[in-house]
Amino acid sequence: MNALQRNSIKVFLGFVLIVLFSLLYAYIEISGLSKYFTDAKSLQSIILQLGYLGPVVIILFMTGAVVMSPIPSAPIAITSGFIYGHSWGALYVLIGAELGAIIAFSMARLLGYEAMQSKFGKQINIGWLNSSRHLMLTIGASRLIPFISFDVISYAAGLTKIGYMQFSIATLVGIIPASFILAHLGSEMVENDLNTIMITILLLGLLTLIPVILGFLKHKKL
């Protein structure tokens, strides 16, 4: 199999993934299921009714929320913590987020990476992010900040030279703290309302962003 055939297969697989998830998102919107992804209490009632299948659905929902950007992932993570506690709830969120990130990364890699290489060459000059190690650090740090789009980072990473293993490790390390925090907040929902929890998440994100900004400014100065 020559390079042209391999590239054609990659592009075909990428388009298949895009079509499948586009159809799934269209069904979610048309059927009215989208409202359950934005309302933690409604989502909780659905998951509770599923019994032993609940964890599987949490993982699938989390995966879909990462791949399909308009679907928020925070209510799913909070629901997982509320129902299954901060330990098991965090584990289900972690698995779903990691799977979703890998799928999003794969879609960008299959469709866009070869095009980027043919247009800009193998060594795209993006400063300190031209290093795989720095890319890993950036991806890991971005996962700690709630208001930086998890989905966009995954898609953008697929266009860089970072490998699957490096991306997966950076993502896993970065989302462990966020998964446990969101699941823990969900487990505390009995005593706190959702608005209070979301404000807490934003404040945690701001605190996480401070060292990232300072590090960037220091590097720029050097």
The CA–CA distances, whole Å, from 175 to 26, 93, 169 equal 28, 9, 10
The dihedral through the CA atoms of 83, 86, 88, 91 has a sign that is positive
Distance of CA 119 to the CA centre of its chain: 28
Profile the chain (222 residues) by mean pLDDT over runs of 10 residues.
68 81 85 75 84 91 86 82 85 92 88 58 50 76 68 82 87 83 67 54 55 55 54
- 215 CB-near residues (< 8 Å, 6+ apart): none
Name the domain count of the chain: 1
pTM of the model: 0.75
Q: Which residue from 97, 114, 102 is spatially nearest to 165, judged by alpha carbons? A: 102
- Helix/strand number for the chain, H first, E second: 10, 0
210 neighbors 145 (Cβ within 8 angstroms): no
- 168 CB-near residues (< 8 Å, 6+ apart): 98, 101, 102
Hey, what are 37's tokens? Answer: 């992804």
Domain that includes residue 199, residue range: 3-221
Give the pLDDT score at 37.
76
